[in-house]
Chains A and B, each alone.
Chain A
Amino acid sequence: MLSLITFLPLAGGVLILFLPKTQNRLMKNVAMLFSAASFAVSVALVGMYRLGEGMQFQELYRWIPGIAINYHLGIDGLSLPLVVLTGLLSVLSLAYSWRIDHRLKEYLFLFLLLQTGMLGVFAALDFFLFYIFWEITLVPMYFLIAIWGGPRKEYAAIKFFLYTLIGSLAMLLAILILYFNASPRTFGVLELIRQQPLAGKPLLASLAFWGFFLSFAIKVPMWPFHTWLPDAHVEAPTAGSVILAGVLLKMGTYGFVRVSLPLLPEAFKQYAFFVAVLALLGIVYGALVAMAQTDLKKLVAYSSVNHMGYVMLGVAAAAGAVGDPSKAAAATTALNGAVFEMVAHGVITGALFLIVGVLYDYRAHTRGVDEFGGLGVRLPVYSGITMLAMLASLGLPGLMGFVAEFFIFVGSFGVFPYLTAVAVTGVVFSAAMFLWTIQRIFLGPLNERWTGLADMDLREKISLVPLAVLMVIFGIYPKPLLDVINAAMAVLAGGGR
């Protein structure tokens, strides 16, 4: 099942390579078919998923037995929501990309390859496999930015590539350190978690921790490793930004929760405060810098830095509580919030980048926040969805972002009360930032330049409405998603293993 989900997009991509170059419509349909099929299977998986049974749908085959590498896939409450999110955002982004005609064949192939890579990262349970998928996501993203990006696309693309490659190679060293200290040697994630090979070896554990940290922190991105993000987000084509913000950033936080926390608990606990401070800096810095932006896309990009800071605060809080039974409940809450925020941020920011694209790509061709005004009159549907997404992003109760942030703050407060108190101010800043943005774009007198703008067309509605609906549903009734996450997080935080 998981292999099917993971490799269906790639199969579609390879098929597209062999289709004639002129058949644009056919290629788009094939891409959509395979991407949607993968998403459909992952939804079916949700139906078959049994709460509280840990790792499920595992597939384990010998791959390179000479050095104990297996092909091992499986998902639990942490990865299941992310796999579904990946499928959903991929399908919606493809739907949004319907108007792309420039070098379509390559575009679709790379997009589908990217989808396979992302799904693989979330499903892989062997470090070698995990690493391969992790790296595979870099290549198509590089091309997506470099070929279909904005004016400074080449700079942004190579910066993205170089930054993330440093991180992933550091992770490779950390993986190797784990491998050589395990007995028997193995790359299996679950087996390594069971063995705890670096327990009682503080120096090696620290080295491995920082190796992983560098990789994940660049991906998240945590302050001060975030500088690639505004460039990449701004220059990437709309669909690329959606995937980048919606899924690729989650690979970093996913790594922290899947790898750093259970595999190196002592080392993570030791540095948890430091990580929390970095997260806090990201929260405040991201919100303040976002407020200063006049480029709508940059604004959303910096708000991502802010939101990923919340996630990391939650994760760091959980790490800080390792081995302390009295804080286990707080840790679970914080982790629940962090994972919920991953999904929420994927849905909300994915939507926000689509929203920016709708305005920029085919209508106004400018993203200057100050150049608009009064658009609410001209574009009612668009304005409604935008306001919904922005309110969700700033954490309005009743929408998805609020649930996540609430849990994070409640949980973190039990571990790092002072840091959390400061972090809450980040909410104020981002609220101010989004409200001010709404005011500048949609309210006030209509700017005469934009009297001719049309409201969203069907395709754009198809790609945005599902996300808006999700924001409301999980804002009002988060229980189903929380139950799935909670079952996995309780194991992580409670047992301390």
Chain B
Amino acid sequence: MSVTELWSIAPELWLAGLGLLVLIVDLFVPAGRKYLVGAIAAGGLLLALIPVSSMLAWDGRTVLAGSYTVDGFAVFFKIIALVSTALVILAAMDGIRSPFEGEFYALLVFSALGLVLMAASTDIILLALSIEFVSLTSYVLAGFLKANPKSNEAGLKYFLYGAAASATMFFGFSILYGLTGTTNLYDLATRLRGAPLPAVYLALAFMLAGFGFKIAMVPFHQWAPDVYEGAPTPVAAFLSVGSKAAGFAVLVRVFLVAVDPGRVDWTLLMAVLAAVTMTVGNLLALPQRNIKRMLAYSSISHAGFILIGLAAFRGDFGVPGLLIYLFGYLFTQLGAFFVAVLIGVQLGTDEIPDYAGLSRRAPVSAFLMAVFMLSLTGLPPTSVFVGKFYVLAAAIDNGLLWLAVVGILNSVISLYYYVGVIRAMYVMPAATERAVPEPAALQVALGLTGLGTIVIGLYPQPLIDLARNATLLLGL
């Protein structure tokens, strides 16, 4: 292995080392000061951004015998994985009360490593392994609060659903391998041209079940509300952003690289799935009173929106739109969950009516939450608006006007439940005027997500460049 190859996987090596380091440091840090461990983990994740972003300028290259690639697309998702995990750790530093707090951070670091691997694998075996890696750490994280039955339920449910989804997906992989005799995505692409169509469709359907589970796409979404509700709130935030994004990375790479859309036309299927996912997620979000369940259903509907970008991948709006959406959504969704962390820890409740009067009890957090809710609705000038703008543009550019109409109808529906949160915070009278304490690390995390939401909304040009660059190297 040459030095360049080694440097190409430097972020991955660094993350593996960081995870081990966090485990070791945890042994020597006394209980009560575990936030130091979190600080090391978050700092280490951010440090990994240095080698990652240095790879932005590279031409695409593969390492490890063609099974692992470093291209703009992978780098984009690595940035998403690192930033979101670091923010989640920052928010968790005041939120996780457990004797195993140090291990929590280590698990998150390892999850980040898994996400990075998912984004860059171009070999279905490596892909399968990295997906399983992320899944395993996520199962543990979801069930992390051992004393809490709901958390246990979340872990178990996630595990059962996840195992079934993975098995189905692997079956799809094995069909692909059986058809072509190769595990490399790019070789698959050429060899699948001669393969019998029914078998290819079957493989696609099976793989879609696995990817759909990761991105919480209807009809593979049922786990999300229960798991988000039971899991520690920072973990729910992580699942709704980090692993969702990585799931999209795999979905896009497999479908656009390995399966020639000219031969197997899956765009209509994607469009229908996008429409159904948006609508089902939204309608189920309407009656929710628990903020975590509401955000779970809303994250399902956003998965539908993001899928528009894949369904309308032709032209220069679709896949960049998907990337831009994910990046903007990262900040907004994390921010919303962080406010839920704050209220969950300080007031011990996840019910939306208990947010009453928050505008006076915690004015800054309430203001940011209002911004996040409006952003999730898709009102400008915010980051999710830019994403929605892009995917709707892609839909129209691809002649999918009906899908765009479904999209805007869903935006209107979603306004109702997002404004419900704002209404509670700003209109409903507070039960008490006592101020809610706002811990420092969480405030920093909240501030960063708020800043990301607004800045991307006002000046998306750098992000657009980044996303375009990422798709160029995908070979589209």
Report if A and B associate in a common complex.
Answer: yes
Question: Within the complex, which residue of B415, B464, B465 is in contact with A162, where a contact is CB–CB below 8 Å?
Answer: B415
Which residues of chain B are within 8 angstroms of A135 by Cβ–Cβ distance? 379-380
Once the chains bind, are B408 and A170 in contact (CB under 8 Å)? Answer: yes
Give the shortest distance, in Å, between A275 (CB) and chain B (any CB). Answer: 22
Tell yes or no: A413 within 8 A of B by CB. Answer: no
How far does the alpha carbon of A154 sit from the alpha carbon of B426 in the complex, in Å? Answer: 11
A132 adjacent to B380 (CB under 8 Å): yes
Interface set, chain A 121-164, CB cutoff 8 A to B: 131-132, 135-136, 138-139, 142-143, 146-147, 153-154, 158, 161-162
B416 close to A162 (CB less than 8 A): yes
Residues of A within 8 A of B380 (CB): 131-132, 135-136
A41 located at the interface, meaning its Cβ lies under 8 Å from any Cβ of chain B in the complex: no
The digit string for B365-408, where 1 denotes a CB below 8 A from any CB of A, is 00000000010010111000000010011001100010011001
Closest to B411 in A: A169
Please choose the segment from A176-184, A392-400, A442-450, A465-473 that sits at the chain B interface, where 4 or more of its residues have CB less than 8 A away: A176-184
The answer to whether A207 touches B416 (Cβ under 8 A) is no
Q: A438-481 toward B: CB 8 Å interface, digit per residue (1/0)? A: 00000000000000000000000000000000000000000000
Instruction: Tell me which residues from 147 to 202 in chain B have a Cβ below 8 Å from any Cβ of chain A.
Output: none
Of A64, A67, A172, A179, the most chain B CB neighbours within 10 A belong to A172
Report chain A residues within 8 Å CB of B359.
106
Nearest-CB distance from B379 to chain A (Å)? 5
Interface core residue of B359, B380, B423, B459 (most chain A CB under 10 Å): B380
Chain B 401-440 against A: per-residue CB contact (8 Å), 1 yes, 0 no? Answer: 1001100110110011001000100110000000000000
Shortest beta-carbon distance, A147 to chain B, in Å? 6
Task: Chain B residues near A162: list those with CB within 8 A.
Answer: 412, 415-416
B60 at the interface (CB under 8 A from A): no
Q: Indicate if the CB atoms of A161 and B401 lie closer than 8 Å.
A: no
Are A146 and B423 in contact, with the CB atoms below 8 A?
yes
Give CA–CA (A143, B426) in the complex, Å.
8
> Which residues of the other chain, A, contact B411 by a CB distance below 8 angstroms?
165, 169
- Nearest Cβ on chain B to A447's Cβ, whole angstroms: 36
Shortest Cβ gap from A177 to chain B (Å):
6
Give chain B nearest CB distance to A308 CB in angstroms.
23
CA distance A143 to B419 in the complex (A): 10
Main secondary structure of the interface of B (DSSP, over half): helix
Residues of B within 8 A of A136 (CB): 380-381
Q: With A135-B380, A179-B393, A180-B397 in contact, do A154 and B423 touch (Cβ < 8 Å)?
A: yes
CA distance A176 to B312 in the complex (A): 14
Could you say which of B393, B412, B461 contacts A169, with CB atoms under 8 Å apart?
A: B412
Q: Please state if B401 and A172 are interface contacts (CB–CB under 8 Å).
A: no
Shortest C-beta distance, A105 to chain B (Å), equals 9
Contact with B426, one of A63, A147, A176 (Cβ below 8 angstroms)? A147
The answer to whether A65 touches B461 (Cβ under 8 A) is yes
Could you say which of B396, B412, B416, B426 contacts A180, with CB atoms under 8 Å apart? Answer: B396
Among the listed A64, A65, A176, which residue makes an inter-chain contact with B392, where contact means beta carbons less than 8 Å apart?
A176
Decide if B460 is an interface residue (CB 8 Å cutoff).
yes
B293 in the interface (beta carbon within 8 A): no
Contact for B419 among A132, A161, A173, CB less than 8 A: A161
B460 nearest in chain A by CB position: A64
Cα of A147 to Cα of B427 in the assembled complex, Å: 6
Q: How far, in Å, is A72 (CB) from chain B's closest CB?
A: 16
Which residue of A132, A147, A166 is within 8 Å of B381 (Cβ)?
A132
Residues of A within 8 Å of B427, CB to CB, are: 146-147, 153-154
Which parts of A54-91 form the interface with B (CB within 8 Å)?
Answer: 63-67
Q: How far is the CA of A305 from the CA of B401 in the complex (A)?
A: 32
Given A132-B381, A172-B389, A176-B393: A146 touches B426 (CB 8 Å cut-off): yes
Contact A166 B426 (CB under 8 A): no
- CB–CB B396/A177 < 8 A: yes
Q: Is there contact, CB below 8 Å, between B397 and A169? A: no
B135 to chain A, nearest CB (A): 36
CA–CA, A154 and B359, complex, Å? 17
**Which chain B residue shows the least CB distance to A17?**
B367
What CA separation (Å) do A303 and B464 show in the bound complex? 47
Q: Mark interface residues in A202-219 (1 if CB within 8 Å of B CB, else 0).
A: 000001000000000000
B253 CB–A CB distance under 8 Å: no
Nearest A residue to B377, CB-CB: A165
**Cβ–Cβ contact B415 & A161, under 8 A:** yes
B214 CB-CB contact with A under 8 Å: no
Q: Which residues of A contact B379 (CB under 8 A)?
A: 135, 138-139
Q: Tell me the bound Cα distance from A177 to B399 in angstroms.
A: 10
- Distance (whole angstroms) from the CB of B43 to the closest CB of chain A: 31
- Docked-complex contact A66 and B465, CB < 8 angstroms: yes
In residues 80-106 of chain B, which contact A (Cβ within 8 Å)? none
CB-defined contacts of A172 to chain B, threshold 8 Å: 389, 392, 408
- Inside 8 A of B419's CB, which chain A residues have their CB? 142, 158, 161
B468 touches A (CB below 8 Å):
yes
Q: Which of B89-126 contact A (CB under 8 A)?
A: none
Note all chain A residues with C-beta closer than 8 A to B465.
66
Contacts of B392 in A (CB 8 A): 172-173, 176
CA distance A138 to B422 in the complex (A): 14
Q: Which residues of B sit under 8 angstroms from A142, Cβ to Cβ?
A: 419
In angstroms, Cα B392 to Cα A65, docked, is 19
Considering the complex, give the chain A residue whose CB is closest to the CB of B367. A17
Whether the Cβ atoms of B426 and A173 lie closer than 8 Å is no
Instruction: Give bound CA distance, A63 to B461, whole Å.
Output: 8
How many Å lie between the Cα of A396 and that of B374 in the bound state? 45
Bound state CA distance, A162 and B414, in angstroms?
A: 10
B412 touching A166, Cβ below 8 Å: yes
Chain A residues, Cβ within 8 Å of B393: 67, 176, 179-180
Whether B408 pairs with A173 at a CB distance below 8 angstroms is yes
In the assembled complex, the Cα of A132 lies from the Cα of B389 at a distance in Å of 11
Cα-based distance from A435 to B396 in the complex (angstroms): 52
Question: With a CB–CB cut-off of 8 A, which chain A residues contact B374?
Answer: 139
Further 9 A-B residue pairs, CB within 8 A, beyond A139-B374, A161-B419, A166-B412: A64-B460, A66-B461, A131-B380, A135-B379, A161-B415, A162-B416, A169-B408, A173-B404, A176-B392
8 closest Cβ contacts across the A-B interface? A169-B408, A132-B380, A66-B464, A176-B396, A64-B461, A146-B427, A166-B412, A176-B393
14 contacts between A and B (CB under 8 A): A63-B461, A64-B460, A64-B461, A66-B464, A66-B468, A135-B379, A136-B381, A147-B427, A158-B419, A161-B415, A165-B415, A170-B408, A176-B393, A180-B396
Q: A-side interface residues toward B, CB under 8 Å?
A: 63-67, 106, 131-132, 135-136, 138-139, 142-143, 146-147, 153-154, 158, 161-162, 165-166, 169-170, 172-173, 176-177, 179-180, 207
